[in-house]
Chain A
Amino acid sequence: MISVTLKISSGGPDEVRAMEVEPGMTYYDLLRIAGINPETVVILSNGVPIPGDDLVAPGEISVWRVVSAG
């Protein structure tokens, strides 16, 4: 299993979740398991946006909810 920490920023205090996923899963899979719609967020690793179809690596990622209105 791969251990990942999700730091979710959505407009209030950050929510931190520790998760374990099977090897071979993507970040999109991870978000779906966490109940987060991948179309509404940006995934950052060390501050760098990463593609959601990358395979999950151990460590911490930040999930930031995108706003789009004007």
Chain B
Amino acid sequence: MKIIVLIKQVPDTTEIKLDPKTGNLLREGVPSIINPDDRHALEAALRLKEAHGGRVAVLSMGPQQAIDAVSEALGMGADEGVLLSDSAFAGSDTWATSFTLSRAIRKMDGFDLILCGRQAIDGDTAQVGPQLAEILDLPQVTAVCGISSFEPGASGRSQVLRRVRGGYQRLNCTLPALFTVVSEINTPRCPHMERLLRACKTKTAIKHWNCADLGLKTQEVGLAESLTQVITTFPPKTRRKSEILEGDPRSVAGQLVDRLQDNKLI
């Protein structure tokens, strides 16, 4: 039994600050983390492995420093890791990302299940999972919040719970398949110190593949292969009056109600 978990290293967006003058992102000093949903995906994979045996591999595409995310995943219990890193991958949109990831998965030998996070907190698109499922012609279930049965094998199937607006769905899915998971599914474990240190020191369980290793040309990946392009970025607008009401509680409450009345809000 083999599960591949897709993990992305992302800046911790709760720690991002904006330059008050230019409104640009100040990325310096922003810590990088494993995308929160992906941690839950890894935890789900590790629990399936504990129940059914087998192996868990993590796959990540990103700059060299994403090795930290892969090492951390090994520290949590993954058996092997693959990092796709090449300057040609820069600027990939989800079209190009899912394509590149699919090539790597074809190079890894077989799987029963692919687990992704539902969405990454930086790009925030929730597109990579379904697009990868499409390329690999796999059935997909998105926003999985529980895996109630898992029977890998020749005519494998799995029963999952999916969160949909206003309720839940229970689904039966043939394996191999791709699921994207949400944080409700479990509480991820912390990395095991010894494993983590071993992963960081030896790094033998981590493979590095670049564009050529995937049998791809540079013009087939990254921005060159992307269908969408970012043309501008700008700070979110705030065009508010920003008036601070002053006085004791009764007086400020009165001033506020006056403003509500003046603006016909009540």
A-B complex is real: no
